[in-house]
Structure 1
Amino acid sequence: MTMILPQSINLKIKPSPASVQVLMPRVKPLNPTAASYYDLTNLGTLGGGISVAKDINDSAQIVGYSINDIGQKQAFVWNLKEGMQDIGTIGNDSSCAYSINDYGQVVGYSVSDCGQRRAFIWDKIKGIHCLDAKSNNLSEAYGINNSGQVVGFSVTNNGQRKAFIWDETKGIQNLSISDDIESSAYAINYSGQVVGYSVSSDLIVKTFIWNGDKDIQELPGFLGSDLNMSGQVIGFYSVPQHNNRAFLWNNTEEFQDLGTISNNANLQFFDSEAHSINDSGVIVGSSDKLINTEQEEFAQRAFIWDSVNKMQDLNDLIDPSSGWVLTEARSINSHGQIVGWGTKGQSCCAFLLTPIS
């Protein structure tokens, strides 16, 4: 049984250096604030009209998916030297990559011959293979750290969606979260802390922070999407008007509402969601923005947030003559480079933003 989350939450939902050549970073580390200007790189596509970037590592290797020239959804790896490369599928014509670590190991899902999504891990030497070859159950992998630990969700034999952690030695292990009827893990940091969400038997949505065998912390009413090395957690939570707001939690009893790009208290129906936080505490995500005051027209825009400048529209930090509209910022690395997707003309394409000032 797969639970439907309450309406107030709108989900949109061991290292092996020899596996792949590690590309050295091409930019200097950034201070813990947004840059004043970013250079934009169009990542292109695999032949179709769509590409979406999901993650970037500290060597500026990027993963996501793109539609190819025959209409298939394909996972890709991109780097500056070789461009966008199709990493293949497991037995079918569809795949998506969600995360990449600093050794070039990639995780995501691929559709198997039986039509089921299956969590995969890929590297340049071994190629693509299932995390759990013994099971045909639905599974997806969302995060991988530099120790090669992978997190995501898998559906058990009794139909429950359960958060898991995987490594080469122990295989897939479901995370034990009290009273949960559904759960999923979205990210894992270098020290093995895991963040995700769970749904309790009384249908309360909670962020969980799993600290190995030590303990599990829970934040009722919140959905966690990422955490950094310091244990700072970001995601979104529901507000009384049944909308979502991006939040930052600093491993204390308090959390910070990050607001929206428009930052207007009268816009209670606007959404914002935080997707990624780097080790400097800089956050990226998406927010509704008021683009026509008279008609109260709004649209989704990519944002960046830091403790000094607060939330800024990334469209204000790129060349205005580029023709791009950045709609979603999905990941930020330790150098302040950002990936996501936006539109240019009639195309929806993945982008890379590199700070230059």
Structure 2
Amino acid sequence: MAYLSNKIRPLWRLAMLMLLSGAAQAQNRYDITALRGPSGNIFATALNNRAQIAGITVVDGTTQAIMYDRGNVTFLRPQDGGYSYASDLNERGQIVGQAYTSAGQSRAFLYSNGTMRDIGTLGGSSSDAQGINDAGQIAGSAATSSESWRAFRYTRGVMTDLGTLGGDASFGTDINVRGEVVGYSSTADGAAHAFLHDGSNIRDLGTLGGVTSIAFANNDRGHVVGHAERVDGAMHAFFYANGAMRDLGTLGGTFSIAQGINSRDQVVGVSLLADPNAASHGFIYTGGVMRDLNSLIDPASGWVVETAWDINERGQILAYGCQADDCTALLLTPALRAAD
């Protein structure tokens, strides 16, 4: 390019940069893997950094908890053959969830080294495990002796009642590496508010100006996501950090939920669109922008990502979507290492 003048050369460079930028933006940000088990499609709830996945599938008419690992499916069957649901897993492949007894009671379980174990209750008949960290601490909720439900933290065989925000019930949904539990609790006036329990105290995270909020996940930095009611009554996804709750907005509709977050503060969830007749779409919120995941996959694939459940430290997203009438769990893997 020696023949280009000094005036033209910068313009040529700018044009090339614009072309390269456009080409990068046109590429698909995520590759899609449809997840299926031996009995058909699966519904997944959580993934770890090894892309091991916790979820459920239906076997002979019975819902069974599973672990999906690179195409191999392990069934987590209760001893009495009842229903089971997997909610979360850690980097050690330990899985927690809920299993039903032959009497119809739900019990929180820990699956570890090939064995499913009932972790008990707070004195009542039922319990449910929702989150587990890499130390094996578990968060969930359980019935007390009066059959009131309370959020718990389970550590080394001991289940601890985390109390409430002044009401009569609370529910734990996730736990991070620090042992901080998030969830939601009834308040003294009967509303449901998101909370964070730091090991000593339970903290009301407030709302976006409305009455209700629910926390669904937290990361190892202590940041929390969920959804909360605004003054106008709309429920929006939120991000909570440093004592402040931020509205993440929607994809054009009136409703959104943030369901997963990693340590880079990348948030995934589900939102309604401006078209009230359209299906919900999964989103990723990163760099201050909420993006429709369907704009980041190959449209020729035919998949519609309807919700996103979880995101790991590699940026892989666990989602659920449909290809016409074929609906199953999806793993979205970053295809382009572009800046967020």
Task: Specify the TM-score bucket, using the shorter chain as the normaliser.
Answer: 0.7 to 0.9
Match of 1:15 in 2: none
Higher helix share: 2
Q: How big is each residue's C-alpha offset from its partner over 1:121-164, in whole Å with a ceiling of 9 and x where there is no partner?
A: 002x2411101189671211000001100010011221211101
Report the Cα distance in structure 2 between the residues aligned to 1:206 and 1:133, rounded to whole angstroms. 23
Rate the CA distance shift 1:220–1:132 in 2: closer, same or farther, 3 A.
Answer: same
Q: Which amino acid aligns with 1:94?
A: Y
SS in structure 1 of the partner of residue 279 of structure 2: strand
Higher relative CO (Cα under 8 Å, sequence separation at least 6) belongs to 1
Q: Which amino acid aligns with 1:289?
A: L
SS in structure 1 of the partner of residue 264 of structure 2: coil
Q: Which amino acid aligns with 2:282?
A: A
Report the Cα distance in structure 2 between the residues aligned to 1:110 and 1:219, rounded to whole angstroms. 30
Match of 2:242 in 1: 251
- Structure 1 contact 116–136 (Cα < 8 Å) conserved: no
Identify the match of residue 185 of structure 2 among 198, 201, 204.
198
Q: What does residue range 1-357 of structure 1 map to in structure 2 within 5 Å?
A: 37-48=29-40, 50-68=41-59, 70-80=60-70, 82-123=71-112, 125-132=113-120, 137-169=125-157, 171-213=158-200, 215-221=201-207, 222-252=213-243, 254-262=244-252, 267=253, 270-291=254-275, 297-308=277-288, 310-357=289-336
Match of 1:12 in 2: none
Rate the CA distance shift 1:121–1:255 in 2: closer, same or farther, 3 A.
Answer: same
Q: How big is each residue's C-alpha offset from its partner over 1:56-84, in whole Å with a ceiling of 9 and x where there is no partner?
A: 0111110011112x22111110111x522
SS in structure 1 of the partner of residue 51 of structure 2: coil
- Structure 2 contact 227–257 (Cα < 8 Å) conserved: yes
Match of 1:27 in 2: none
**Post-superposition offset of 1:208:** 1.1
SS in structure 1 of the partner of residue 205 of structure 2: strand
Report the Cα distance in structure 1 between the residues aligned to 2:151 and 2:63, rounded to whole angstroms. 25
- Structure 2 contact 124–146 (Cα < 8 Å) conserved: no
Identity of aligned residues (%): 32
Rate the CA distance shift 1:311–1:90 in 2: closer, same or farther, 3 A.
Answer: farther
Rate the CA distance shift 1:242–1:134 in 2: closer, same or farther, 3 A.
Answer: closer
- Structure 1 contact 162–175 (Cα < 8 Å) conserved: yes
Report the Cα distance in structure 2 between the residues aligned to 1:74 and 1:211, rounded to whole angstroms. 33
Q: Which amino acid aligns with 2:269?
A: G
- Structure 2 contact 167–189 (Cα < 8 Å) conserved: no
Q: How big is each residue's C-alpha offset from its partner over 1:166-216, in whole Å with a ceiling of 9 and x where there is no partner?
A: 1224x2111123413110011111011111110023112211111112x32
RMSD: 1.9
**Post-superposition offset of 1:289:** 1.1
Report the Cα distance in structure 1 between the residues aligned to 2:204 and 2:79, rounded to whole angstroms. 35
Higher strand share: 2
Q: Which amino acid aligns with 1:355?
A: P
Rate the CA distance shift 1:90–1:198 in 2: closer, same or farther, 3 A.
Answer: farther
Q: Which amino acid aligns with 1:176?
A: G
Equivalent pairs, count: 305
SS in structure 1 of the partner of residue 295 of structure 2: helix
Task: Return the TM-score normalized by structure 1.
Answer: 0.81
SS in structure 2 of the partner of residue 43 of structure 1: strand
Report the Cα distance in structure 1 between the residues aligned to 2:122 and 2:183, rounded to whole angstroms. 25
